[in-house]
Chain A
Amino acid sequence: MRAQMGATLQDLMDTDPRLAIVLADISHGYFERAAAAYPERVIKVGIMEQTAVSLAAGFAIEGFIPVVHSITPFIVERPFEQIKDDFCYQRLGGNIISTGASYDYGTDGMTHYGMGDVPILRTLPGMEVVVPGTAGEFDALFREAYADGAPTYFRLAERQNLTDRAVRFGRLEVVRRGSAATIVAVGPMLDRVLEAVANLDVTVLYCTTVAPFDGEALRAETLAGDRAVVVVEPYYEGTLVPEIVAALRPDPVRIEAIGVPRRVLTRYGSADEHDADLGLSAAGIRRRIEDFLAEG
């Protein structure tokens, strides 16, 4: 996805003079040509993420469309107040692209993990949150949303689904229909979810825009079947539960929230090893869904 980010932004820099890129010593290699061609619109600030976000907001005030990029905890959690005050409260448009989703850098320890990015960004008024499942989907979703006048967060992951889907910003996609439950799979979780529910009679909805959440589509698909929803998220578990409850209100709904548990992770390994440990492999997800269906 990171290479796609470089390619997509390079292409847009050539065609949209409003675009400006602010980098904080991460991914410089993907922007070499853009930096050489447009030195006044590609700013390498150094390792100062608070300044990077505020500076990008300064570009936005002047009518540019800024893109700020770094590793997840450093570009979301460290400058959270800058995102809140300088973009959301000022009502300025811009884009934040992170790299290293949850424990993608699984041997680097908790300081380099980012499971809390989507939950905290969901607290901000006007903030859009996009979780593409493939590089191609990042390209499509970025082109659709980058200039929409709102602050938009794009969460890039090292692991992705095998095939691109025809995703649209702000929309849930129906992958398959069934009657026992509705499974909402977010971004890169889709392939694992499809493997987990291979022979189960469930609806699968694919979510690549977490905010604004497509409650209308969820309601239409869920109320047609059993009112049971399983949401499978690649960040802290349960983040989308309030949106699901709100979408189905006043109808009752049973919910199972599968995602990364809020736990300090102290082991080093691949992202797949972390998944297995946390019950987020396809087999682990299947067990959770089977238990949930049995409870109903």
Chain B
Amino acid sequence: MALASGDEKHDPSAHSTLDILWVLYDRILRYDPRDPRSEDRDRFLMSKGHGPLALFAILADKGFFPAEEMARFETWEGILGGHPDRHRVPGIEVSTGSLGHGFPMAVGVALALRAKGSDRRVFVLIGDGEANEGSVWETALLAGSLELPHLTAILVDNASSTRPLGDIGAKFAAFGWSARTVDGRDHEALYEALSAPDSERPTIVVAGIRE
């Protein structure tokens, strides 16, 4: 991440997700960086789109593209922009940036995998600021009523929301989700929460960041 510059305004957004994404890509997700669109992969959708540097750094570290690409972040010659583009960056499932789009897309992906008979898991990362968007709560209502045990949402809560969100896990639980709240810097707590989804309902892991 130190190689990249030009998006300092999103530094908090990039750093808040680093531990979560590392645990996901190092210990949870099944993928092959040489075949990033393999049908056998687990899907990860970065709904919030903002501050993708942590994701780019981890994708580079895991071999999706050369680490030198990080030095060309937000340049004409590079493939890494201020928001992820699935057509430019290997390993990016959806192009996001406008808030509140990737979460309902992830539900569509999860429903599509169910229709295919696939048991692959779908993970989607939402920000607490993003959770101001109405479409996030449309999707919370919808998915909470569906049998989607292979869908796990991660809501990174770094208190960036202008409107206080209160107990986010309780709100999702009220819509029918299995909800866990953990320390977003605690790798073991993240691993435990992300590796033990509910057997019937979608799961949300609220990852608190308090520094």
Contact = CB atoms under 8 A, between A and B. Distances in A.
B158 to A, nearest CB: 24
B112 interface: yes
Nearest to A56: B108
Given A50-B138, A89-B95, A90-B95, A62 B104 contact: no
B66 interface: no
A48 B142 contact: yes
Contacts of B97: 85
Interface residues of B, number: 30
Contact of A61 (B87, B112, B134): B112
A91 interface: yes
A50 B138 CA distance: 8
Contacts of A62: 108-109, 112-113, 116
Interface in B171-191: none
A48 B136 CA distance: 11
B111 A58 contact: yes
B93 to A, nearest CB: 7
A62 B112 CA distance: 6
B46 interface: no
A244 to B, nearest CB: 33
Interface in B57-94: 86-87, 93-94
Interface stretch (A25-33, A39-47, A112-120, A133-141): A39-47
B106 interface: yes
Given A50-B104, A85-B98, A86-B101, A58 B138 contact: no
Contacts of A46: 141-142
A90 B86 contact: yes
Interface string A135-161: 000000000000000000000000000
A35 interface: no
Contacts of A86: 94, 101, 105
Interface string A37-81: 000110101101011001111111111101000000000000001
A40 B115 CA distance: 5
Contact of B94 (A45, A48, A61): A61
Interface string B45-62: 000000000000000000
B111 A55 contact: yes
A62 B115 CA distance: 10
- Chain B interface SS verdict (over half): helix
Nearest to B122: A58
B114 interface: yes
B101 A55 contact: no
Contacts of B108: 54-62, 66
Given A51-B104, A90-B95, A61 B109 contact: yes
27 contacts: A40-B114, A40-B115, A41-B115, A43-B111, A45-B142, A48-B142, A50-B100, A51-B135, A54-B103, A54-B104, A54-B108, A54-B135, A55-B104, A55-B107, A55-B108, A58-B112, A59-B112, A60-B108, A61-B109, A62-B109, A62-B112, A64-B112, A64-B115, A85-B97, A86-B101, A89-B95, A90-B87
List the 7 closest pairs (A to B, CB-CB), nearest first: A58-B108, A62-B112, A54-B104, A55-B108, A48-B138, A40-B115, A58-B109
Interface of A: 20, 40-41, 43, 45-46, 48, 50-51, 54-64, 66, 81-82, 85-86, 89-91
Given A54-B139, A58-B109, A59-B109, 16 more contacts: A20-B112, A40-B115, A48-B141, A50-B104, A51-B107, A51-B138, A54-B135, A55-B107, A62-B108, A62-B112, A62-B116, A64-B112, A66-B108, A85-B95, A85-B101, A91-B87
